[in-house]
């Protein structure tokens, strides 16, 4: 078991990573908060697998109710947000109530945004159940999607704690393990060259991720994120680096239709384009071809689906939160383990994206 401390300008909180730690760590954290009642917001698949166990543990000491959200990115929506707020109001949750986000990044982002806004803010705890959530559960970005763009409506709102019980990850479908692995690779590429080298040298397919490697990559990924968030909680500068691969990745997810391409697969495609672009702009060899081959072996898509027009993606990238005054800001690599940002005129980026696609990124 490992405890890490996330320090931000608006407060600090612990992240506990280990196996079978719900009974000790979660109940310990809740007893510190002394909530008047608890609302679990649970992913439907997670609820079926683990919900009863959690509910029984909590109901011994607390008034606890559950809202079950159907699984899938398409439910990280305004409609779900509104339904949960209605449910909470009808239950009579008050300002001393506590929300538990029980699921992956969809639940963490949505439940966190509900917590941030219910009666102007009540505490919440993240109980992540996916590998990807080593990223999403830490750092306090909470949001819902809009058909016009990913995570466009949200807040910076830190959880009271994160209890990461690795026992839940044993049932994670393979494609979701891959999706989460993309964010681990991202953390290596932007902030920890040793982590990146370990991953690239030791994991050729997803079966190579044993329990020890899983725990190690989660902890190291969180350390990279924690360092960035400590310096820049609200993304006025360096936090943008955490968006590596996301400018194109988010555009692909939204253009394909939420839930059609997993977040991690979108980010993997976005990272490949960003590495290719970094080589061109920074005139460095960043081993693009080798990384592309590695991604392909891991099962990631390595190019934008043919059905998505470049022009539509550029229009979406112009609406990215990093974009301004008609230019698109991309996070690029100065070196493996070191990121920076560069802005492009939309015409220029359109040509570059088109060139990358024509060069055979499929």
220 is catalytic: no
Select 51 or 105, whichever has its Cβ closest to ligand GLY.
105
Rounded Cα distance, 254 and 77, in Å: 12
Select 242 or 286, whichever has its Cβ closest to ligand GLY.
242
75 is catalytic: no
Under the binding rule (CB under 6 A), the answer on residue 239 touching ligand GLY is yes
C-alpha dihedral sign at 344, 346, 348, 351: positive
> Both tokens of residue 175?
């494609």
243 binds, among ligand NAD, ligand GLY, none (CB under 5 to 8 A by kind): ligand GLY
Which strand ranges, in their side-by-side order, compose the sheet holding 38-43? 2-8, 11-18, 161-165, 124-128, 98-103, 38-43, 64-69
| β-pairing verdict for 161-165 and 11-18 | parallel
- Residue ranges binding ligand NAD (CB under 6 A): 43, 45-46, 49, 71-73, 76, 103-107, 109, 129-130, 132-133, 135-136, 139, 141, 150-151, 168-169, 171-173, 176, 179, 183, 263
141 is catalytic: yes
Catalytic entry in 25, 134, 141, 316: 141
235 is catalytic: yes
316 is catalytic: no
243 is catalytic: yes
Under the binding rule (CB under 6 A), the answer on residue 135 touching ligand GLY is yes
63 is catalytic: no
C-alpha separations of 125 from 103, 113, 207, 296, 348 in Å: 11, 12, 31, 36, 43
3-state secondary structure of 215: helix
Least Å from the CB of residue 83 to ligand GLY: 25
64 binds, among ligand NAD, ligand GLY, none (CB under 5 to 8 A by kind): none
Least Å from the CB of residue 356 to ligand NAD: 23
Which among 205, 187, 197, 201 is positioned nearest to 246, based on CA atoms?
A: 187
Cβ contact 49:58 at 8 Å:
no
Select 106 or 333, whichever has its Cβ closest to ligand NAD.
106
- The interface region with ligand GLY, picked from 45-53, 88-96, 159-167, 236-244 by CB under 6 A, is 236-244
- First-to-last alpha carbon distance for the chain, in angstroms, is 41
- The interface region with ligand GLY, picked from 87-95, 134-142, 271-279, 322-330 by CB under 6 A, is 134-142
263 is catalytic: yes
Q: CA 157, 160, 164 angle in degrees (round to 5)?
A: 105
Catalytic entry in 220, 243, 253, 292: 243
- DSSP secondary-structure letter at 167? G
Which among 269, 257, 270, 260 is positioned nearest to 299, based on CA atoms?
A: 269
Under the binding rule (CB under 6 A), the answer on residue 130 touching ligand GLY is no
Catalytic entry in 120, 212, 283, 306: 120
- Catalytic positions: 120, 141, 183, 225, 235, 239, 243, 246, 250, 263
Task: Provide the binding-site residues for ligand GLY, judged by CB under 6 A.
Answer: 135, 139, 141, 239, 242-243
């Amino acid at each position: 078991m490992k405890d890490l401390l996330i320090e931000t300008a608006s407060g600090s909180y612990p992240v506990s990573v280990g196996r079978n730690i719900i009974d000790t760590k979660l109940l310990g954290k809740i007893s510190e908060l002394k909530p008047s009642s608890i609302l679990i917001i649970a992913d439907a698949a997670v609820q079926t697998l683990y919900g009863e166990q959690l509910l029984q543990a909590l109901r011994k000491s607390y008034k606890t109710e559950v809202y079950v959200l159907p699984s899938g990115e398409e439910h990280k929506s305004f409609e779900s947000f509104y339904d949960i707020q209605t449910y909470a109001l009808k239950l009579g949750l008050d300002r001393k109530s506590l929300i538990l986000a029980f699921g992956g990044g969809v639940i963490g982002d949505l439940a966190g945004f509900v917590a941030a806004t219910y009666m102007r803010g009540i505490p919440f705890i993240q109980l992540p159940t996916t590998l990807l959530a080593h990223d999403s559960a830490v750092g306090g970005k909470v949001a819902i999607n809009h058909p016009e763009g990913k995570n466009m409506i949200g807040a910076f709102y830190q959880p009271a704690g994160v209890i990461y019980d690795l026992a839940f990850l044993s049932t994670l479908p393979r494609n979701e393990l891959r999706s989460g692995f993309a964010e681990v690779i991202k953390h290596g590429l932007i902030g920890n060259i040793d982590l990146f080298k370990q991953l690239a040298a030791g994991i050729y397919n997803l079966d190579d991720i044993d329990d020890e490697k899983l725990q190690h990559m989660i902890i190291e990924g969180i350390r990279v994120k924690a360092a960035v968030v400590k310096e820049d909680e609200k993304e006025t500068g360096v936090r943008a680096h955490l968006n590596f691969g996301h400018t194109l990745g988010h555009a692909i997810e939204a253009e394909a239709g939420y839930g059609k391409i997993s977040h991690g697969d979108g980010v993997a495609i976005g990272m490949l384009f960003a590495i290719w672009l970094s080589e061109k702009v920074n005139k460095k060899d960043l081993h693009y071809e080798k990384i592309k081959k590695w991604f392909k072996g891991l099962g990631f898509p390595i190019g934008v689906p043919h059905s998505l027009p470049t022009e539509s993606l550029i229009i979406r990238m112009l609406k990215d939160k990093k974009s301004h005054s008609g230019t698109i800001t991309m996070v690029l690599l100065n070196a493996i383990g070191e990121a920076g940002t560069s802005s492009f005129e939309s015409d220029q980026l359109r040509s570059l994206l088109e060139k990358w696609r024509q060069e055979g990124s499929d």
